[in-house]
Amino acid sequence: MLRNWKPYILGAVAMFVLLSGLYLFFIAPKQSPLHSSPNSIQSSIPTDAVTITPLPTLRIIRGDKVAFEGQTELKQTIGGIFAQELTIVNFQATGENSDKSYIKIVWENGEIEKLYPGTTNKKFAADRRAAEITVAGYSVHERRLFKNSNRPGTLTWEIRYDPVEK
């Protein structure tokens, strides 16, 4: 085996790049069409017969295994003033006493609704509009006589909604 093999490899790679570049630039067939075909399709449909309406924008709020320790509240930003057609696709929490974690939804009329871990595919009525969405995590070792101690936990959630500006 050669002791100085690196210059040979470098030279071979450089020659390969140079030759393939020359081939692509000079010898390779050009991709331009030889003749342009005129648009020969005659249509009897008027141009304004089809109306395209854009679909409403669907927004997704999600968090995947968001780590926290003790208690935390994560206020979610809503695109627009309100969120309607709200769907909680998934909400999971891990940690000690994680069943006390929740998603808090404040509706337009001031009503508060809480959803707990294990909630999947929860759809709300289309006419209800949420003003605020908060994901709260709880992972605490609770003691009666001594001070409670924080424990690590994770939150996973996915919320879909349609933003409303009015």
| Each residue's pLDDT tens digit, 55-110 | 666 788 888 988 989 888 989 888 878 888 899 999 999 988 889 999 999 998 88
**Coil, helix or strand for 81?**
coil
The tally of domains found in the chain comes to 1
**pLDDT tens per residue, range 113-156:** 999 999 899 998 888 899 999 999 999 888 888 888 889 999 99
At 71, the amino acid letter reads Q
Let me know: does 105 contact 115? Beta carbons within 8 Å: yes
How far from each other are the two terminal CA atoms of the chain, in whole angstroms? 77
Determine the structural domain holding residue 111 and report its residue range: 59-164
> Is residue 85 in a domain?
yes
> Is residue 31 in a domain?
no
The label of the residue with tokens 């003749």 reads: 35
pTM, rounded to two decimals? 0.62
> Is residue 140 in a domain?
yes
* Integer Cα distance of 96 and 49 in angstroms: 61
User: In this structure, what CATH number is given to the domain that contains residue 126?
Assistant: 2.60.120
What are the tokens at 68?
């926290």
